[in-house]
Amino acid sequence: MTNQEIYDLIARFDSSSLHTLKLTCKDFSIELGRNAAPAAVPAAVQAVPAAPAAQAEENAPVIAAPLVGTFYAAPAPDQPPFAAPGAVMKKGETVCLLEAMKTMIEVPAPCDCVIETVLKANGELASFGEALMRYKPC
C-alpha cells in the first residue's frame, strides 16, 4: 500500500461515521480508531474572549499533520530543530518529522514562510490534520 493510499484511507475514515477500522493485507495491517466525544463543558464556565493579538495568531495558517504520528522538531535529539519560531523557510524545506510505523515522514513547508509558533512538543503524538505549526507566508 502506498503512502498516498494510506492518506486517502485516513481521510475517508476521518470523514466517515465509523468508530474503528482495521485493514489487513498480505504484509500490511492498519487499525484506525476515534477518541470518545469530548466531555461537555459545565454551563457555569464561561469562555473569556481572546485578546486581539491572540485572535490574529489563531487565524494564521497552519502546517497540519498529514498522518498520525510522533512529532519530532529535529533530525536527532542532539541536533537543532528544523524550524524554530522566527525561522524563514523556503517552500518544500522540511519543518519537522512525523514517525509512523517506524518510518520517518518529512513534513515540508507549504510555501516560502516564517514560522510563528511550534504547537507540538518534541515526542508528542500528532493526530491526522492537527496543527503542528503556525506560519506567516512571505
pLDDT per residue as tens digits for the range 77-123: 899 999 999 999 999 999 999 999 888 999 999 999 999 999 999 99
pLDDT tens column, 4-21: 777 777 777 777 777 777
| 3-class secondary-structure state, position 31 | strand
Grid cell, residue 20, equals: 474503528
| Residue 67 half-sphere exposure toward CB, CA atoms < 13 A | 22
Q: What CATH number has the domain spanning 58-138? A: 2.40.50.100
Q: What would the grid cell of residue 85 be?
A: 519560531
Q: Map out the domains of the chain as residue ranges.
A: 1-34, 58-138
CA distance 34 to 131: 18
Residue for cell digits 512571505? 138
Quote the pTM value: 0.58
